[in-house]
Structure formats: C-alpha cells, structure tokens
Structure 1
Amino acid sequence: MEEEFKSPIRSSDLVENMLIRAVLQGEYPPGSELPPERDLAAKLGVGRPTLREVIQRLERDGWFTVRKGQHTLVNDFWREGNLNTLVNIVQSSEEVPEDFIINLLEVRSVLAPAYVKDAVHSCPAKVVAALTEIDELKDAAEVFALFDWQLQIKLVYLAKNPIYRLMLNSFGAIYVQAARRYFMIRENRQLSRQFYQDLLAAAMASDYQKSERVTKEVMEAVLRNYKNQVSRRRMLEEGFDNETMERMGR
C-alpha cells in the first residue's frame, strides 16, 4: 500500500480509489483519523485542492466526516454509507472479497423473485424471447456467466420498478466476475439451465406466480452452492483433504 501511495497521481478518480482501498485494507480503519491534509496530499502526490475535492465527494458517500479545525474522521462505512458506497467498493477493488459477493447474493435472492415476477406479469412474450436460445447455450463457464448477466438485465428492464435497474447496473463487473467463478462447476451450470427452462415454461404460460417461485428456489440454491464453494476452498487452503470435507458435507 505504501508503494502505491508514493506513485505520483493526477487523477482525482485514482486518488478516490486509493483512499477507499486504504480504508478497506485497514490502513485507515473506521474510527481513525486521516493524516493532515498537507501530509496526505504529499503522500498521494496530488495538490491539496484535488485531495479536498475527493474527500468531500467521499464524505457524501459516507466514508468520511470532515470536521472543521480537526482531522477528518474515517466513518464506519457499513453504517454511514449508501448505495454509492457499494459501487465505490466494487470499482476500487482489484478482486471483490468473497464475503462481499455472498452478501450481494443474499440481497439478490430477495430482489430477483420480485423483478422476475413483475417481468413475466408485464411482458411474458419478451421473457420468452430472452430465453429462446437456451438449448444452444454452450456448456462453458464464460458463456453461462455472460448469458446469465444479460438475462438479468433484460428481466429488470421488463419489470416496472426502475430501482431494480439502477441497483443491477451498478454491479455488472462484479456480477460477471462472480458468475465466472460460480459456473466453473458443471453442476451449477446444470442448475441454471434447468432454471432457464422452468422460467421459459412459466413465461409461455404467463404464470407469473410460478416464475416467482422457481426464481426464489434457484436463487436460494445458488447462494447455498456459492457458500459451500467458498467454504470448501478455504478448507483446502487450511490443509483439509477431500475425504474429510466430504464427511463434513462440503
């Protein structure tokens, strides 16, 4: 982190990302104070006006509290933040933490049944059109990741509530990144293919209640599978063998 700070930076966006990473990585933990403006600007290699602009911008997103005559306070961003805070985390992270992805999947398991139901209720024919090529879908992680993302985008645009669109649009990069990892496992691709077929049948019958039900079931299964994948990977890193993990149900 120190080496990154010593590099001369002129873009306020880069400075913003580096400050966020410093908070996320614990260099400036919640409850601590940022260094004096002059020192921090020199450390970042930018002018004080640029730094001041960035800190004010991040204050609006819940990262900092600027106090007159005192050092800037680092907030607990999970308490003080907003939707922009989540976008900040995604955009500034080279690799999004798995626990963060799990949290997003938990949110999606609540939202997706609602916007899928809304889409099928409003435009069943367009939902059918979005699913017509599932039989030709190549059995590969990259293909499934991109198809699933494009399908979710189409569904939220067919739903009535524009908030769904704003939320999903904010997480395109992390969605595809996590989906590639998830779809590396063949059983997960099979689960999603079955979901696409079930959703197609529901849309063809204009059965929006069934579409809500099958979406809820698959989202819960995806969340459960992803948690198991993460748990298994961590256990392997800790030295557990496959036989032990199988006995533990991993």
Structure 2
Amino acid sequence: MKSTQLLRPAQHTEYQLLTSILNGTHPPGSALPNERSLAMHLGITRPTLREALQRMAREGWITIQHGKATMVNDYALDGGMGMLTTLSAHPEFLPAAYILHFLEVRLVLLPEVAGMAAEKAPETLLRHLSRHEQLNDDKESFAEFDWQLQLLMATHSGNPIFRLIVNDFSQLFKTMAPAYFAMDDARRASTGYYQALSRFITGNDREKVVAIVRSAMRDAMVRWKQMK
C-alpha cells in the first residue's frame, strides 16, 4: 500500500476502513456505524465516505443496503480474486496460512501453464532463462527474475485467464519472495531449476517441463514451511 500521505481522501478512508475490518475492529458479520457517525469519527465529509464505501462494496468487503446498516462481509467466503491484492497490501494482518495457500494454488496451476508456454513460446522462455547466469546473488534479483518468469509462462500459455490470475498474486509474491530468496539454499535450488527447465524446453519435452516445475514448486513449499 502506498504511504497514506499520498492517497486521495477516499482512498485514505478506504485504507482506514479496511484496516478496521482486518484488525477485527469491524469483524465479518458486524454492522458499520451509520454514515454520519462514521464520517465524524474519521474526520471526513460524507461524500468522501460514500465514495470509499462504494469502492469497498464493489470489491466485496461490505454490503450496502438502502435504509439498513452497512454490513461487513466474510471476505474469505464472499470475496473474489481481486481481494488478494488488498490483503497483500496489509501484510501485518495476512494470516500465515495464506502464503501456503498461495503456494498450493501455484503448485496446481503453474506446472501446466509452464508446459503450455513451453510449447507455444519456447524461444521467449529460453531467452529469459538464459539471463539467470548473470543474476546478482541477492534476494531482490532472484525475486524479480522468478516473478518475470512466471509472468512469461502465464502470458504465453495461450490462455489470457492465467495471466489475470497470476497478476492477482503479484503483491502476495512480492511480499514473500524476498524472505524466501534471502536463503542461500533457495537461490541455489532455483539456479538448478532454471538450468533444468532450460534443458527440457530446448529438448521440446513438455512432460519434463511440467515435472520440473511441479518439483520446484513442491520444494518451495517445503522450504517455506521450514522457514516458519
């Protein structure tokens, strides 16, 4: 999340309200105070509050009903993929299990996405993978390189929905990746993964591409659990 000093009034209000939901001040199933009281409490105008509430309603955080109290939704049950970006912008409230849930989703999706991309755009993937030898041995370089690889796989899979899904994981990945790649063995394992992936793409072996990506994703899950 951007510094709150840089946000427009409605965005800043939305940030405050989301924080109050995520920290339990206004838990799922509870009613927000009426508009007048809430605006006074936050020190804002009612039009600014309405704009923030409408934005939150569109994303699924709350339900606004004319003549009734505005209710806080259970975002884990009623929310959509777009909420991942918002949740990732509040890492202090992000449940620890969410990282593992993300890794589980990636384990299911990315191997097949990689196989599709390797068939449709092998040169593009190989061009990116060839740069791994010039990577600085630091967490930032590996995190950025790995994220760009996943984006390329999704983009060139032939299915635009995969790219939309991966985009929604962007903030979450950027939250966790530096901690993961701070480990020396994680960077070494990733280097071996990039080398093997390059060989299998060059050999036009889709099954081995899928298998090596699945193995790398599974190893990452194990390593993350050991970190915690």
For normalisation by structure 1, the TM-score amounts to 0.83
How far does the alpha carbon of each residue in 1:170-227 deviate from its partner, in whole angstroms, 9 at most, with x for none? Answer: 3333312311100111111111111101110011011122111110111011011111
> Which structure is higher in RCO with an 8 Å CA cutoff and minimum separation 6?
2
Structure 1 residues 95, 206: CA separation in 2 closer, same or farther (over 3 Å shift)? farther
Matches within 5 A, 1:24-173: 24-93=22-91, 96-173=94-171
In 2, the alpha carbon distance for the partners of 1:36 and 1:21 equals 18
SS at match of 2:24: coil
Distance in structure 2 (CA, Å) of the matches to 1:163 and 1:218:
23
Task: State the distance in 2 between where 1:208 and 1:28 align.
Answer: 49
Q: SS at 1:29's partner residue?
A: coil
Structure 2 stretches lacking a partner, 5+ long: none
Tell me if the contact between 1:109 and 1:216 (Cα under 8 Å) persists in the aligned partners: yes
Change over 3 Å in CA distance of 1:61–1:16 after alignment to 2: same
**Cα distance in 1 for residues equivalent to 2:75 and 2:66:** 20
Identity of aligned residues (%): 35
CA distance in 2, matches of 1:53, 1:80: 21
Quote how far apart the aligned CAs of 1:100 are: 2.1
Where do 5+ consecutive residues of structure 1 fail to align?
A: 1-6, 231-250
CA distance in 2, matches of 1:191, 1:201: 16
Tell me which stretches of 4 or more aligned residues in structure 1 moved more than 6 Å: none
TM-score (norm 2): 0.90
Distance 2:55 2:131 in 1: 44
- The one-letter amino acid of 1:211's match is V
User: Residues 149, 10 of structure 1: CA spacing in aligned structure 2 closer, same or farther, 3 A cutoff?
Assistant: closer
CA gap of 1:96–1:78, structure 2 versus 1, over 3 A, is closer
Matched positions, count? 223
